[in-house]
Amino acid sequence: MAEAQFDRAAEDLGNFTALEHLNVEIPNQGLASDFYLVGMGFTRDPFLFPGTNNMWVNIGKSQIHMPTGDALVFRGHIGIVTPDREELLNRLQGVKKNLADTKFGFKEYNDHVFATCPWGNEFRIYEPDVERFGNINLGLPYVEFTVPPKTAKKIAKFYRKIMGAKTCMEKNGHGKAAHVKCGLNQELIFRETDRPLPEFDGHHLQVYVEDFGGPHERLQKLDLITEESDRCQYRFEDIVDLDTGKTLFQIEHEIRSMTHPLFNRPLVNRNPAQTNRNYILGGDNWVYNLPDTVGPSGRAMDPLKAPKAPTIAKRRALRAQATA
């Protein structure tokens, strides 16, 4: 039997290993709770920032951080995967009254539900789809930014050359777009548009990287570092044309090393269907991943006939043969 053939490159993540959080300021923690916790069904982090000056909201293994302040809005939309579309629609319907005098709204489409937070951040919420999003049951698979015409390819080049990320280009009926891989089943998308774009207001995203020093050195040579936060973190804002130095797009990047104390921190995700009137013992938590598999084994059926089989495998085969 021939050994199984695997696409090893398909498992490469590039330098970005996780898109951990997004950050927007919000003027009202109560309205944010109604939308993000009650309507969307997400979970407030029970351990950090329990007061009214900041709120960390868990979405699978990612978060949105929402300190109190003037509203900040992402230029584009945020992709979300959540398990049950019907329950989501019921929850969003349930918060309409409380959010009546805000920018809140939602609408059904064939493959997603479109929802807007009280201050204008837009979300496309999908049911789990392994082919499209991988084995995400609850999570944040992508953020899509709208960018000026003729910038997507140059943005991809910036992330590839400066940050060491894996990138690819896409062109379809929705316009040309750069895709930047941000870890397992996560990406940033930069899609070109002819529409006028609002000014950048200071919102940010945070990613973990495997090579922490290399991108820092390259960003420093371009004079793009905006903050030396601490030993495990730095920030930059401008994505530039590497040929001309012109700013193509702005989004604050919080870059963290994988030695950061918060890396791979386990997050609590509650099951929003649980109520005190309809309670299932042991059903408090949502499992944010779907079952995954490493696929069929590629081991040789008969190690004694495979010249490069591991020595230990050959020894096991010889022992089995001797006792047969």
The 10s digit of each residue's pLDDT in 100-139 is 999 999 999 999 999 999 999 999 999 999 999 999 999 9
Report the predicted TM-score, pTM, of the whole model to 2 decimal places: 0.89
Question: What per-residue confidence (pLDDT) applies to 63?
Answer: 96
Question: What per-residue confidence (pLDDT) applies to 175?
Answer: 80
Is-contact 250 233, C-beta < 8 A?
Answer: no
Question: What per-residue confidence (pLDDT) applies to 91?
Answer: 96
Question: What per-residue confidence (pLDDT) applies to 2?
Answer: 46
CA torsion sign, 26 to 29 to 30 to 35? positive
Domain layout of the chain by residue ranges: 8-257, 299-324
Question: What per-residue confidence (pLDDT) applies to 174?
Answer: 76
Residue ranges in the chain modelled with pLDDT below 70: 1-4, 173, 294-318, 324
Is-contact 44 56, C-beta < 8 A?
Answer: yes
Question: What per-residue confidence (pLDDT) applies to 4?
Answer: 60
The 10s digit of each residue's pLDDT in 289-323 is 877 776 666 665 666 666 666 666 666 666 777 77
131-135 LR contacts (CB < 8 Å, sep 24+): 133/81, 133/185, 134/184, 134/185, 135/185, 135/289, 135/290, 135/291, 135/292
Is-contact 141 131, C-beta < 8 A?
Answer: no
Question: What per-residue confidence (pLDDT) applies to 310?
Answer: 65
Question: What per-residue confidence (pLDDT) applies to 1?
Answer: 41
Residues in a beta bridge with 78: 123, 143
Question: What per-residue confidence (pLDDT) applies to 283?
Answer: 82
Question: What per-residue confidence (pLDDT) applies to 214?
Answer: 97
CA angle (112, 116, 67) in 5-degree steps: 125
Domain 8-257 has CATH 2.60.40.1180: no
